[in-house]
Amino acid sequence: MLNDGVLVLFGARESEDLHYGFFQDTNFLYLTGWEEPGAILILTPEADQADPAYAQRAKLPREILFLPQRVPGMEKWTGRKLGPSDATAGAATGFSAILPAERFESELRQLLESYPNLYTTGSEAMENLRRIAPLRNIQDVKGRLGNLRMNKSENEIARIQRATDVSVDAHRAAWKALRPGQFEYQIAGVMTATFMSSGCPRGAYAPIVGSGPNSTILHYSRNARRMDSGELAVMDVAAECGNYASDITRTVPVNGKFTKRQREIYDVVLGAQNAAIAALKPGVTISQLTSIAREYINSHGKDLQGQPLGKYFIHGLSHHVGLDVHDESTVTAPLKAGMVITIEPGIYLPEESLGVRIEDIFLVTPTGSRNMSGALPRDPDELERALAQPK
């Protein structure tokens, strides 16, 4: 990908904020698979025999993983970490060259004697590298790594499917528990418990359970309101399993039955989703799919003033999913088989305290797409039947 320079990625540091657990930088995780804090990665390109500097570059290491030294005092608080001198370091990391993090700067300066450029991701990393090599050309390659991550391997697809299956189970558990008078956080708790009991350590994002007026807030996550009969609840909740995310939203009536107006809006959103799904195949772009969904919404249904509903579809239709629930993506790039995206139209009517979003996750196939979350009903009649099952 980069044949004229050195790629440097910094892994995430251990958080001192007790509100959050450790999250590895996803680009670092993508290239290394390493999940402990404080590591640094150096990659150099394969030497080209036609390059005048081939003899010098061929002797250089292609990859080095730098690990922090163990600090036994800290390990009493955060657990044992793998150190660079541990006998199992090579087998545990998959890297043949493992060095202490203290040697990073000297090793980098030595490599830069053979390469003119530096590549990394993020402003903080660029500032760190400018301090070490102030005269070098340093470029951010987040977008280029994102382009790689858009194309999923079979293993990645399997992990996303696992996260999706667990997420489907969580939505079904929520429907079984749902009843008027409960608080949004109670349903979010049921769904989170389903993730953990299934072996998935966390959600792919903060759970969104928005009822009544909160159903019109796109990323509402306070989940503090009591849900009452006659309202809709938007449940945008999904698991992360094996470091890979899913992303599913369903909108359901709290008392199990849609009102006429709720069903009217729901049917428009469902129709827009179906129109986009029908067009989903290799070669189309997310921008084109968004236009299809928006055109459908604009030509079906009205607000209370008799105006088209398109202006109430106020977010993007789709994004890529992978190590991040919103993976790096380009909405104008043609989709390819092996990519995983969402299709999620929505209509949000604050004056009616009525919001509807339907979101599923799709694998692009050579001839079209496969709904990875298709086991979870979308049809309003099916939803009502599922909600009517004994509590």
Q: Please say which residue of 113, 148, 183 terminates a domain.
A: 148
Whether 19 is a known active-site residue: answer: no
Gap between the Cα atoms of 112 and 143, Å rounded: 23
pLDDT cut 90: percent of the chain above it: 88
pLDDT of residue 376: 98
pLDDT of residue 97: 95
Q: Are residues 171 and 284 both part of a single domain? A: yes
Whether 172 is a known active-site residue: answer: no
Gap between the Cα atoms of 4 and 116, Å rounded: 7
Gap between the Cα atoms of 84 and 268, Å rounded: 57
Cα–Cα distances in Å, from 384 out to 251, 252, 255, 257, 338?
A: 11, 8, 9, 6, 34
**Residue 55, pLDDT above cutoff 70:** no
Q: Are residues 89 and 220 both part of a single domain? A: no
Catalytic residue among 13, 62, 219, 261: 219
pLDDT of residue 245: 98
Q: Are residues 190 and 280 both part of a single domain? A: yes
Q: Are residues 144 and 195 both part of a single domain? A: no
Number of domains the chain contains = 2
More confident residue, 58 or 158: 158
More confident residue, 172 or 17: 172
pLDDT of residue 95: 95
pLDDT of residue 53: 67
For residue 321, what are its two tokens? 């999913």
Strand residue runs (E) in the chain: 5-10, 40-43, 63-67, 98-100, 117-120, 137-140, 202-203, 208-211, 232-236, 239-241, 244-245, 249-253, 340-343, 346-349, 354-357, 360-364, 369-371
**Residue 160, pLDDT above cutoff 70:** yes
Helices (H) and strands (E) in the chain, counts: 12, 17
Catalytic residue among 107, 156, 247, 328: 247
Whether 312 is a known active-site residue: answer: no
15 confidence band (pLDDT: 50, 70, 90): confident
pLDDT of residue 171: 98
Q: What are phi and psi of 286, to 5 degrees?
A: -60, -35
Mean pLDDT of 330-357: 97
Q: In what order do the strands lie in the sheet with 249-253?
A: 208-211, 232-236, 249-253
> In the Cβ-directed half-sphere of 74, how many Cα atoms lie within 13 Å?
10
Q: In what order do the strands lie in the sheet with 244-245?
A: 202-203, 239-241, 244-245
Q: Are residues 125 and 25 both part of a single domain? A: yes
Q: Are residues 120 and 209 both part of a single domain? A: no
CATH number at residue 49: 3.40.350.10
Whether 315 is a known active-site residue: answer: yes
CATH number at residue 273: 3.90.230.10
Whether 320 is a known active-site residue: answer: no
Task: Enumerate residues 6+ apart whose C-beta is below 8 A from 190.
Answer: 170, 173, 174, 177
Q: Are residues 219 and 332 both part of a single domain? A: yes
Catalytic residue among 220, 244, 266, 348: 348
The model's pLDDT over 209-223, given as tens digits with 9 standing for 90+, comes to 999 999 999 999 999
Q: Are residues 178 and 289 both part of a single domain? A: yes
The model's pLDDT over 363-387, given as tens digits with 9 standing for 90+, comes to 999 999 999 999 999 999 999 999 9
The whole domain housing 247 covers 154-387
Residue 109, beta-bridge partner list = none
Whether 300 is a known active-site residue: answer: no
Catalytic residue among 315, 379, 382, 385: 315
Catalytic residue among 17, 46, 113, 154: 17
* Ramachandran category for residue 23: left, alpha or beta (phi over 0 → left; psi -120 to 50 → alpha): beta
Cα–Cα distances in Å, from 155 out to 29, 112, 152, 319, 367?
A: 15, 35, 8, 20, 21
Task: Provide the CA 146 distance to its chain's centre, in angstroms.
Answer: 12
CA proximity to 147, closest of 35, 30, 48: 30
Whether 171 is a known active-site residue: answer: no
Q: Please say which residue of 82, 117, 148 terminates a domain.
A: 148
Q: Are residues 121 and 164 both part of a single domain? A: no
Q: Are residues 255 and 176 both part of a single domain? A: yes
Catalytic residue among 25, 236, 240, 328: 236
Whether 326 is a known active-site residue: answer: yes
Identity of the residue numbered 200:
C
Q: Please say which residue of 148, 183, 210 terminates a domain.
A: 148
Q: Are residues 9 and 77 both part of a single domain? A: yes
The position carrying tokens 């402990």 is 36
The model's pLDDT over 266-322, given as tens digits with 9 standing for 90+, comes to 999 999 999 999 999 999 999 999 999 999 999 999 999 999 999 999 999 999 999
Whether 378 is a known active-site residue: answer: no
**Residue 123, pLDDT above cutoff 80:** yes
Q: Are residues 313 and 199 both part of a single domain? A: yes
- Inter-residue contact 25 to 9 (CB < 8 Å): yes
